Amino acid sequence: MSRTDVLVTADWAQENLARPGLVFVEVDEDTTAYDGGHLEGAVKLDWKKDLQDPLRRDFVDKAGFEALLSSRGISNDDTVILYGGNNNWFAAYAYWYFKLYGHQDVKLIDGGRKKWELDGRPLSKDVVERPTTQYRASDPDLSIRAFRDEVVASIGNKNIVDVRSPDEFSGKILAPAHLPQEMAQKGGHVPTAINIPWSKAANEDGTFKSDEQLAALYDEQGYDDSKATIAYCRIGERSSHTWFVLRELLGKSDVKNYDGSWVEYGSLVGVPIEK
């Protein structure tokens, strides 16, 4: 796996918008951005409505994922090119999610919607309709998804990477600062976790830093290549960004995303917390 297998530039995307076999997909939590203008021909996925179970806190199941992708006109052999707002957080989450359900060829647009807008590239309000497909998903690949018991068991023996901001890591604030600070869970972090904020892996325009810069970043922060890794944040989307960096850009092995993240861990009875 190398950078060009998993990442395309905005220039490349703009030149290939109409290329057969590619499906551009915008993923956001707030899909008003898509509705106000999207890449020509791109379909949308709503992080909350489409990718989360409406009742339980979990993903949609395999049948639900198949129905979703079929309805968006995505085939198993299509190359899916993901992008979105929030510095590609939700697009990176979708990337991880597509991999979990076994989609082979997925890429991110480097910089996502932010770079596209800052560059002043064209956006379209046209309604996009693609013919329905018969998408078939694989069983979930749980080698890339961590659950709470594994996180507790990993304290002191795996790389636990907390990708939230330093103030969330220390417990000074309970949520990213664009949200009200009214969370039920305790503040702090998983003991022995190292704090390497997702933002250190990105440039200001939302593009990823170079492979050399990224390798140096994790080395300097005490990441141990001989150990397995679990990344977490608050609800698992910023940690998807870091999961993408570690596994897909840097090629590190045995990296899992803990999507339960701090909203789950900080609410568990009896687990250890550090501040």
In this complex, which beta carbon is closest to other proteins, that of residue 231 or of residue 235? 235
Give the chain as a DSSP string. --HHHHEE-HHHHHHTTT-TTEEEEEEESSTHHHHH-BSTT-EEEEHHHHHB-SSSSSB--HHHHHHHHHHTT--TTSEEEEE-SGGGHHHHHHHHHHHHTT-S-EEEETTHHHHHHHTT---B------------PPPP-GGGB--HHHHHHTTTTSEEEE-S-HHHHHTS-SS-TTS-S--SSPPSB-TT-EE--GGGGB-TTSPBPPHHHHHHHHHHTT--TTS-EEEE-SSSSHHHHHHIIIIIIS--SSEEE-SSHHHHHTT-SS---B-
84 versus 249: smaller Cβ distance to other proteins: 84
Minimum distance, C-beta of residue 116 to other proteins, in the bound complex (Å): 11
Least Cβ distance, residue 261 to other proteins (angstroms): 10
Closest approach of other proteins to the CB of residue 157, in Å: 28
- For other proteins, the closer of residues 117 and 254 by Cβ is 117
Chain centroid offset of residue 162 CA: 14
CB of residue 160 vs other proteins: minimum separation in angstroms? 20
Minimal distance, residue 273 CB to other proteins, in Å: 19
Q: Which is nearer to other proteins, 30 or 211 (CB)?
A: 30
Q: Nearer Cβ to other proteins, position 137 or 235?
A: 235
Cβ closest to other proteins, residue 85 vs residue 260: 85
Buried residues in 141-180 as b, exposed as e (16+ CB within 10 A): eeebbbeeeebeebeeebbbbbbbbeebbeeebbbbeeee
Least CB distance from residue 256 to other proteins, whole Å?
19
Residues in contact with other proteins by CB under 8 A are 28-30, 47-48, 85-87, 89-90, 114, 117-120, 165-167, 172-173, 175-182, 197, 199-200, 204-205, 234-235, 237-238
Catalytic residue check, 233: yes
Out of 233, 245, 246, 255, which one is annotated catalytic? 233
Residue numbers annotated as active site: 233
